[in-house]
Structure 1
């Protein structure tokens, strides 16, 4: 009996001791993301649609020719949207009332600039190679985020709840993740270095499974155009945080899709966008009430980039 009791105690200790884990398991555990759409035992139900009808914009703004390559937008008060394009280092202040660019502000030399965010009176601009620019009071500073061109940093937004910037990567997710995932990193205040672990992780297979099938669930605005499978290879081009719910919205240009995550990073909705309205969806920004502006580059058949406004609707 003593031998049996001793054996049982030994087995119990071996099962509960951290030392019993293999080195491979420990190494894998150390690189696990902090948030993943597949981590919950009971996930919230994924909705077919969001609280926006992306086939019916409340307003549409045609951009001037210098913004044909419009790649990112951010609100500048209630009357202006500031945009950037991915060739020159300029900020374009677009007047929503006159529908004209009021001012062009150079902040840096030519480069592949992908998104812009406003924090107080400062403007932050993300370049595709992971370099962050801050324009304030006529001066520009540059910061190395630790992300690189391999990550293809395309989305940038300010998260008011944590008072930090979020960066969405279009390509290599880093942090030991598979290429079937996409990462959104939080930048540390002050240094603007990306945290080692992503703040949010997008699982492409989960998005694909949640997206309506093109033949059954595709949406059209009423104009001629075909639909793509938005979840086939979801590649973030913009990110924004809803000011009321705190939910994270992520746009994908190549597949013309948009997803919504809750504050824990769980996938809530995945939805395609109509091709005729969005030749290449590249930027988005929320109003204080939750209305959503979405920007698209000029398509092959159109010389104008567009910004569409969508009103929040009750679910």
Structure 2
């Protein structure tokens, strides 16, 4: 074999090897667009009654009773984990798209997807009082999730779709309970950066993650749930990404509710047939 032919074959071979290496690296990069942390384990499951097939928010009233809302009827359903049944229903408004619930002392709050907040006082009585508070948020933002931050006496709300103020983040907004007013600046800005989000498209921040619920643990870490692509985002107390957990779609078909019980255990509710509440543990 001539020297020129040998050199040509070696060159072709090297080009082929390099091309395969580049292809493999690109494929690996695409596969690592999001670096999930495994470790969300289900410890116990409650199957909910038919009326809660579309459960969209949960909050603990005490160690056994969970207040639930669903995204069609203006009702709060008190579900008892021990007896596994609804023990009370509280009517607060007409039919609508209700997406989150929180409790502050003896007051329940429910948020609608258009940003309206319903304040339900004396909810334990036969005649609770309901007051509706409007915010500058709208259905275009698609508000999902509600949590009472007792340390700052505020409600935290999260938007699923377009942020009302910016394109490069999605905000977690605060409704001040003393002023009964939504504060203009977001309490936290989720930019979906850091190692878990890898090569996520920075030009499409609004579609990287679509929150369905927000909650906070006793350490001040913020938990943000996504229902469309089941996953759980954990932020540190400053709002920076800490971890991103993949949720098995078979067990979490559409996770919409997130709550901590008085002992600090985490629960996730899911729309489905039937709707469910899972007590989970994160390793």
Structure 1-normalised TM-score? 0.72
What is the match of residue 216 of structure 2? 241
What is the match of residue 66 of structure 2? 81
What is the match of residue 227 of structure 2? 253
What is the match of residue 210 of structure 1? 196
What is the match of residue 156 of structure 2? 166
Is residue 153 from structure 1 mapped to residue 143 from structure 2 by the alignment?
yes
What is the match of residue 307 of structure 1? 277
Is residue 91 from structure 1 mapped to residue 76 from structure 2 by the alignment?
yes
Distance in 1 separating the partners of 2:224 and 2:247: 12
5+ residue gaps, structure 2: 1-33, 123-127, 200-205
5+ residue gaps, structure 1: 1-45, 214-230
Distance in 2 separating the partners of 1:312 and 1:146: 36
Deviation digits for residues 291-312 of structure 1, max 9, x if unmatched?
10100100xxxx2011000135
Deviation digits for residues 52-76 of structure 1, max 9, x if unmatched?
x32x311100011000111000001
1:232–1:111: structure 2 CA closer, same or farther, 3 Å change rule?
A: closer
Indicate which of 244, 260, 272 corresponds to 1:286: 260
Q: Which sits farther off after the overlay, 110-119 or 190-199?
A: 190-199
Deviation digits for residues 258-315 of structure 1, max 9, x if unmatched?
11111111111111110011110101001233210100100xxxx20110001355xx
Deviation digits for residues 70-105 of structure 1, max 9, x if unmatched?
100000101111100010000111010011111111
Distance in 1 separating the partners of 2:179 and 2:254: 32
Q: Which sits farther off after the overlay, 158-167 or 187-196?
A: 187-196
Counting only pairs closer than 5 Å after superposition, residues 1-315 of structure 1 correspond to structure 2 as: 49=37, 53-54=39-40, 56-137=41-122, 138-175=128-165, 177-178=166-167, 181-204=169-192, 206=193, 210=196, 233-243=208-218, 245-298=219-272, 303-311=273-281, 313=283
Structure index of larger Rg: 2
Distance in 2 separating the partners of 1:289 and 1:97: 16
Distance in 1 separating the partners of 2:97 and 2:60: 21
Distance in 1 separating the partners of 2:224 and 2:282: 16
1:312–1:291: structure 2 CA closer, same or farther, 3 Å change rule?
A: farther
Deviation digits for residues 193-228 of structure 1, max 9, x if unmatched?
221111111124x27x50599xxxxxxxxxxxxxxx
Assess if the C-alpha contact under 8 Å between 1:146 and 1:193 holds in 2.
no
The 3-state SS of whatever aligns with 1:167 is strand
Compute the displacement of 1:112 (Å).
0.5
Aligned CA RMSD, in angstroms, stands at 2.1
What is the match of residue 7 of structure 1? none
1:108–1:197: structure 2 CA closer, same or farther, 3 Å change rule?
A: same
Assess if the C-alpha contact under 8 Å between 1:247 and 1:261 holds in 2.
yes
What is the match of residue 36 of structure 1? none
The 3-state SS of whatever aligns with 1:304 is coil
Higher strand proportion (structure 1 or 2): 2
Distance in 1 separating the partners of 2:282 and 2:225: 17
Deviation digits for residues 236-257 of structure 1, max 9, x if unmatched?
10000102x1111000111111
Assess if the C-alpha contact under 8 Å between 2:62 and 2:261 holds in 1.
no
Assess if the C-alpha contact under 8 Å between 2:62 and 2:262 holds in 1.
no
